[in-house]
Amino acid sequence: RCARGIRRRQRSLMAAPKPPRVVAELGRPETPEETAARKAENSRKHRQRQTLKNLVLALAASLLVVLVIVLLVPRSDTPMERDIDVAAVAEQAQVVTDVPLAVPDLPEGWRANAAELRKSSVDGVTAWYAGYLTPSDEYVGMYQGLEANPTWVAELLARTIATSTVTVDGVEWTVYDNRQTGDDVGNARYGLTTEAGDSTFVLLGTATPEEFETIATALVPAIDAQR
């Protein structure tokens, strides 16, 4: 009889519901609503961690692809520098005008990196342009404005004021020397302008006056042909 009583008490204890877990932060058991909210928050944090993990993995994969491409693409230590055939471009551009387009015959060490017809958005003036790098790696831009006007010249030279004149092989040029100014004049650090026939020639850039004189001398035959 005693044994049966003990077994009944054991079964009663086993069947009794477990008391709710006391949450340390609350100092009491959670309510069903609080339990649901906690589980939902844990689930949200888990999803965020998974999203961040996936983002990091995707970024690492992208960087790996870029690294592989960089390693596979052949490279050269030789600097990439264009050398434009100005005469060939001028021959193609000549179809748009009867005015002969100037192609200066420059000495060794001068390189052309651009040649094209340009049309001003301000006054519609069309100009033949060639950009040159000098032997000292400075820049000279040559513009031959076709039926140009003073506004077009002023825009090219950043609306600076002429400082003097110089004669090169019988051709008089107006000088714009802005090398000492603190103003932002772009590439118009130094400039020369002259007119011949329907053409207005503008030279501007960062080269030395001696280098400007070299290209001005090379333009004399084209200028004389239009006088």
- Note the pLDDT of residue 180: 93
Higher pLDDT residue, 13 or 158?
158
193 DSSP assignment:
E
Closest listed residue to residue 131, CA positions, set 115, 109, 108 = 115
Give, as one character, the DSSP assignment of residue 73.
Answer: S
* Three-class SS state of 206: coil
Which spans in the chain are helix H?
2-15, 32-72, 86-93, 150-156, 209-225
- Residue 175 tokens read as 């000088």
Q: What is the mean pLDDT of the chain?
A: 84
Alpha carbon 198 to its chain centroid, in Å, reads 36
107: nearest Cα among 223, 225, 226, 211: 211
Q: Per-residue pLDDT averaged across 128-143, rounded?
A: 97
* Nearest C-alpha neighbor of 99 from the set 120, 128, 125: 128
Distance CA 209, CA 217 (A): 12
What pTM did the predictor assign? 0.66
Beta-carbon neighbour count of residue 76 at 10 Å? 6
pLDDT the model gives residue 15:
53
86-100 pLDDT tens trace? 999 999 999 999 999
**Predicted local confidence at residue 4, as pLDDT:** 63
Least confident among 68-77, 103-112, 175-184: 68-77
In order, the DSSP letters of 116-155 are: EEEE-TTT--EEEEEEEE-TTS-EEEEEEEET--HHHHHH
**Which residue in the block uniquely carries the two structure tokens 């052949």?**
74
- Whether the per-residue pLDDT at 78 is higher than 50: the answer is no
Tell me the pLDDT tens digit for each residue of 139-197: 999 999 999 999 999 999 999 999 999 999 999 999 999 999 999 999 999 999 999 99
Structure token pair of residue 71: 């390693």
Question: What pLDDT is attached to residue 6?
Answer: 59
* Token pair in block for residue 199: 């053409």
In which band, very low, low, confident or very high, does the pLDDT at 7 lie, cut at 50, 70 and 90?
Answer: low
pLDDT category at 72 given cuts 50, 70, 90 is low
Distance CA 8, CA 172 (A): 126
At residue 5, does pLDDT exceed 70? no
